[in-house]
Amino acid sequence: MADVVRYGLVGAGMMGIEHLNNLAVTPGAVVTALADPVETSLGWARRALADRADRAAAFADSAALARSGLVDAVIVASPNNTHRGVLEPLFDAGLPILCEKPLATTLDDARWVVERAARSAAPFWTAMEYRYMPPAADFIAQVHGGRVGTLRMLSIREHRFPFLPKVGDWNRFASNTGGTMVEKCCHFFDLMRLITASEAVRVYCSGAMDVNHLDERYDGRTPDILDNSYTTVDFANGVRAMLDLSMFAEGAENQEEITAVGDKARLDVLIPAGEIVYSPRVGFRGEKRVERWIVPVDETALKVGTHHGSTFYEHQRFNAAVRGQGPVEVTARDGLMAVAIGTAAEISARERRVVEMTELGF
């Protein structure tokens, strides 16, 4: 691989622009091709590229981009339900791929991606940015290093803003996104698998659309995406995990709060505060011995993205994998398993029952 890696971007919406901004500060990265069927989105991409825009050819779809011979790697940030169609010509061309989450909106499509990725010699990376937030990465390393003892309980809270407007309002309908538990929460189910080092065996989700989008209509259709939920996940190694999601709580001081409790201590991470709090057991009425520290984040990384610097760090790792200088850290199978837990949660919320992962073939 030459010193310069030529990137193509498929899907120039909000997340696509974040990728362009991060590639601009990734050493040896140059954007040479864009693909999006919407001219407005291509305009956003050209503005993001600024004086580099004349280097990037524009195409209507991923097939034309793949045939161009202009790229060494491709970022896929198109709407969730388009991923299989977008990925097929990229796989056929043997290109390294970083595909945004969720991997797909259905388990059949996600399994197809896993099978095609396994047949490809090129790296395939599922974009799970939350792994790479520096405070979250420090937290995970602490848990894996035994700081809490044997992990028994894991909880994740995301209290945030509603889904943002997207081109064509595609994200207002579960048929396009896979549902909130797939579209939004695959990040957290991926974190659960990573932190517990185990696989889910059963899922229970209680959720609804109670506040957001109730008065919106799109060609007479009413949005059907959950805006709040509680989800519990039992893992094969006995760890229990819980996700608390509210998409009408943007006034919260921290958007994400993750807590791991083991037989020796509790550990919390607060984002965007960047604070980690360590609370060892001290016995009944024992004196508290709480430790706190802030995990720094590169200022450049913070400026070029909206995911607490994570996209910047993710791109450094993916770039290394493309060059053959590092492993793929988030595989297609990782993407599949996050979609599987999210799918189980969607079924559980809709049918108001516990879903065994064996029902879905896992």
The per-residue pLDDT for range 334-347, each reduced to its tens digit, is 999 999 999 999 99
The per-residue pLDDT for range 4-26, each reduced to its tens digit, is 999 999 999 999 999 999 999 99
Task: Give the pLDDT score at 138.
Answer: 98
In this structure, are 125 and 139 located in the same domain? no
In this structure, are 281 and 147 located in the same domain? yes
In this structure, are 205 and 265 located in the same domain? yes
The per-residue pLDDT for range 74-112, each reduced to its tens digit, is 999 999 999 999 999 999 999 999 999 999 999 999 999
Task: Give the pLDDT score at 2.
Answer: 62
Partnered with residue 158 across adjacent β-strands are: 245, 256
Q: Is residue 302 part of a domain?
A: no
Domain that holds residue 86: 5-129+313-331
Q: Is residue 261 part of a domain?
A: yes
pLDDT at 1 over 70: no
- Cα gap 179→356, rounded to integer Å: 19
Burial of 52 (0-12, 13-18, 19+ CB in 10 A): middle
Q: Is residue 304 part of a domain?
A: no
What is the residue type of 239? V
Beta strands of the chain (E only): which ranges?
5-10, 29-35, 57-59, 73-76, 97-100, 124-127, 151-159, 200-208, 228-235, 240-246, 256-262, 265-271, 275-280, 291-294, 355-356
CB 78 within 8 A of CB 102: no
Task: Give the pLDDT score at 53.
Answer: 73
- Cα gap 96→77, rounded to integer Å: 14
Q: Is residue 306 part of a domain?
A: no
What domain count does the chain have? 2
In this structure, are 135 and 125 located in the same domain? no
CB 213 within 8 A of CB 161: no
Q: Is residue 287 part of a domain?
A: yes
The per-residue pLDDT for range 234-274, each reduced to its tens digit, is 999 999 999 999 999 999 999 999 999 999 999 999 999 99
In this structure, are 254 and 318 located in the same domain? no
Q: What is the CATH number of the domain that holds 203?
A: 3.30.360.10
Please, what is the end-to-end C-alpha distance for the chain in angstroms? 38
Q: Is residue 307 part of a domain?
A: no
- Cα gap 212→219, rounded to integer Å: 18
Model confidence pTM above 0.85: yes
Q: Is residue 204 part of a domain?
A: yes
In this structure, are 222 and 143 located in the same domain? yes
Q: Is residue 303 part of a domain?
A: no
Q: What is the CATH number of the domain that holds 115?
A: 3.40.50.720
In this structure, are 322 and 347 located in the same domain? no
In this structure, are 211 and 243 located in the same domain? yes
Q: Which of 135, 104, 110, 99 is nearest to 15 (CA)?
A: 99
The per-residue pLDDT for range 33-75, each reduced to its tens digit, is 999 999 999 999 999 998 777 789 999 999 999 999 999 999 9
